[in-house]
Structure 1
Amino acid sequence: MTTRRTAGVRLLAALAVVALSATACSGGGRQKADDGDTGGGNAPGSSGYTIAMITHETPGDTFWDKIRAGANQAAKDEGVILRYSNDPDAAKQAVLIQNAVDSRVSGIATTLVTPNALAGAVRTATNAGIPVVGFNSGIDQYRKLGALMYFGSDETLAGQTAGRRLGQAGAKHPLCVIQAAGSVALEARCAGVKSAVSGTENIQVNGADDAAVVATLQAKLSQDSSIDAIVTLGAPIAIDALKAMDSSGSKAKLVTFDLNAEAAQDIQDGKIDFSIDQQPYVQGYMAVTSLYLYLKNGNDIGGGKAVLTGPSFVDQSNIDKILPFTKNNTR
């Protein structure tokens, strides 16, 4: 956590602490939902600003619907024109950033899941005088790339938090499931788990193919009965893991990062022990709002430090309150 914050950052930090102890929630999923918001707002473009939001979203993963819902609401609130684009391929995401530069947008909000591949495009933006804000991925690299601000979870801390809780429950051999190759955020989560439980083993799966995920995990669980916990790094993968556990007869505990309505229901039903939340709606909202405030008033939210939106626990102690928000596509 940061030691110097503006009043706005202190408020976000306080909300994150409340969420940790009480009502944290998150998003995720695969069945695409409509982009949502809570209504109201100003006419698009009334502020005079156009902001490009560029992510590594894999088509069909509705975790990003929460990001977009927050971003859309912020754009309405501030009268911003929002242009959203995405590609899970790092080189193609870099092209999207370059396209935004060429179209002379007012600001760019981007995920930095593969920072080395995006560094050139981000520098092109900053050299052109276009402010860049990072969010969701790249907390350790955003400053080096030239991004002004960052909104997201500390993924290493999130992994350590999950690992400590698993260790306290007696886990000795967790299996950490990485669904996207090269993602610094996912690797940091698994590294955090391993720092708390040394017997943690990583496994790579193809997160864009549910059937392949189930088959890979089923084979692994069938051949290694010592696996006593499974850590999935996204709610859709948790659903796949449940199918693999059923087929293999595994009795491992299942925990996940992020939420969707199905995973939230599984937490309520006791099938998933807990989730680690990063509040994607807040990430999308603050990424757009921070650029608006920077352009309009020169504000620097965070004072050069990342603004944390997580991690926090979602479990049976708070799921009843959170479940309706997962269905509203905002948490």
Structure 2
Amino acid sequence: MAQNRDDDANDGSNGTSNRTSGIINSGRRGLMQGAGLGAALSLLGGVSGAGGLISTAQAAEAAFPQHKKWKIVFVNHVTTNPFFVPTQYGIQDACAMFGMDYQWTGSATSDAGEMVRAVNSAIAAKADAIAVPIVDPNAFDKPIQAALDAGIPVFAYNADAPRGKSNPRLAYIGQDLYLSGYQMGERIASLVDSGMVALFIATPGQLNIQPRLDGASDAIKKSGKKIDIQTVATGATVNEELSKIKSFYLGHQDLKGMFAVDAGSTQGVAQVMKESGLPSKGVHGGGFDLLPQTIQLIHEGFLDFTIDQQPYVQGFYTVMEAFVFLASGGLVGPANINTGLKFVTKDTVEPYLNTSTRYEGKTTKPQIVPMKGAIKS
């Protein structure tokens, strides 16, 4: 789903070899030594600056002895997709905190063969760790095993091997994809009583999104409502997705709902909902992820919801797990991390709309965002 980003989001996050820029040297130390995070935090009193404030660099100095500047290679399936801008910021921030380096590589068009070649290149280059979305049920089994045999830990992020299938990766960091789709299906069944509902998917069969489609379909069927599900493949680029969604709607103007399981298709659904005034015709829409146009059109009332899977922490937590695994000689972790599911609606969209942070990929500027009001789960 290649798409040009704005200049701010592009800074430091595109290309195949983005690395941390020497903010942390090889003597920088991490934050989560053997006794755990609590022990590390107990040391922070000795590094407090004026007013009791400390930087992450100061915090990093407090815990670990000197270590190699380990390099983690992130292989991705859509390297220029705007969804992964906050993921790359999370990688950069964690690498700066833990004294690591990284490379961003893979495929721009969800080509599993390109991704496998990138994994093999990382093994040949003696990377210290590898992270890869397992978007194909079989293609990554052998290269991941080859990496492990070479002493290189491998983590899955954003997409994992299908349920019931064994893949040798050490841990998965990302959303429970089937469950998120199932909960979306339940939401669809609460909005639509009967009639045709279109479910749009960029690349059918790929494990980062197909489980969501399966979950949504299962939940709708289980509801018992007379809903006719039509599955529509939209393609790997945002413009292609929008064109397919427009075309489907023009040929099925009696539909009752339009929903998508990927970021680009969700933005396309929102655009078509607005252009054709579909909410006023009783048509509902929703999908996944937080592309700026999606958020804006939820605010304007053209989309019922989107689901936040928190791409920033998919990068940050993966680096963190790799660091702790390497620092402990493999004794600590790794563990699966579910990065969560959060429905964003017109009632809850305001903070996403009015706050520009690296955590959502809207700015390059590091910042601490003040908490405002009650916390909503």
Q: TM-score range by the shorter chain?
A: 0.7 to 0.9
Equivalents in 2 of 1:151, 1:167: separation in Å?
A: 29
Equivalents in 1 of 2:138, 2:354: separation in Å?
A: 39
Q: Which residue of 2 aligns with 1:203?
A: 232
Amino acid at match of 2:24: N
1:44-59 alignment, distance < 5 Å: 46=28, 47-48=67-68, 49-59=70-80
How does the TM-score come out when normalised to structure 2? Answer: 0.72
Equivalents in 1 of 2:140, 2:323: separation in Å?
A: 23
Amino acid at match of 1:277: D
Once the 2 structures are TM-superposed, how far is the Cα of residue 267 of structure 1 from its aligned partner?
1.3
Once the 2 structures are TM-superposed, how far is the Cα of residue 268 of structure 1 from its aligned partner?
1.3
Q: Which residue of 2 aligns with 1:154?
A: 176
Q: Which residue of 1 aligns with 2:25?
A: 43
Q: Which residue of 2 aligns with 1:234?
A: 262
Amino acid at match of 2:270: L
Once the 2 structures are TM-superposed, how far is the Cα of residue 42 of structure 1 from its aligned partner?
2.6
Q: 2:197 aligns with which of 169, 174, 178?
A: 174
Amino acid at match of 2:268: D
Q: 1:268 aligns with which of 299, 304, 308?
A: 299
Q: Which residue of 2 aligns with 1:258?
A: 289
Asked if 1 retains the 8 angstrom alpha-carbon contact of 2:238 and 2:265, the reply is no
1:179-328 alignment, distance < 5 Å: 179-198=202-221, 199-208=228-237, 210=239, 212-245=240-273, 250=278, 251=281, 252-297=283-328, 298-302=331-335, 306-325=336-355, 327-328=356-357
Gaps in structure 2 of 5+ consecutive residues: 14-18, 29-66, 222-227, 361-377
Asked if 2 retains the 8 angstrom alpha-carbon contact of 1:29 and 1:236, the reply is no
Deviation digits for residues 68-114 of structure 1, max 9, x if unmatched? 11011110000001111121210010000000000111111111111
Equivalents in 2 of 1:231, 1:283: separation in Å?
A: 24
Q: Which residue of 1 aligns with 2:5?
A: 31
Asked if 2 retains the 8 angstrom alpha-carbon contact of 1:293 and 1:299, the reply is yes
Larger Rg: 2
Amino acid at match of 2:87: I
Equivalents in 2 of 1:104, 1:45: separation in Å?
A: 21
CA spacing shift, 1:30–1:269, aligned 2, 3 Å: farther
Q: Secondary structure at 1:51's aligned position in 2?
A: strand
Pairwise CA RMSD: 2.7
Equivalents in 1 of 2:87, 2:275: separation in Å?
A: 33
Once the 2 structures are TM-superposed, how far is the Cα of residue 259 of structure 1 from its aligned partner?
0.6
Amino acid at match of 1:214: L
- The structure showing larger relative contact order (alpha-carbon pairs under 8 Å, at least 6 residues apart) is 1
Q: Secondary structure at 2:359's aligned position in 1?
A: coil
Equivalents in 2 of 1:149, 1:248: separation in Å?
A: 44
Equivalents in 2 of 1:40, 1:321: separation in Å?
A: 33
Amino acid at match of 2:216: V
CA spacing shift, 1:246–1:323, aligned 2, 3 Å: closer
Equivalents in 2 of 1:71, 1:171: separation in Å?
A: 43
Q: Secondary structure at 1:117's aligned position in 2?
A: coil
Deviation digits for residues 128-167 of structure 1, max 9, x if unmatched? 1111111100153698221111110111100111111111
CA spacing shift, 1:171–1:79, aligned 2, 3 Å: farther
Gaps in structure 1 of 5+ consecutive residues: 1-27
Q: Across the two proteins, how many residue pairs are aligned to each other?
A: 298
CA spacing shift, 1:282–1:44, aligned 2, 3 Å: farther
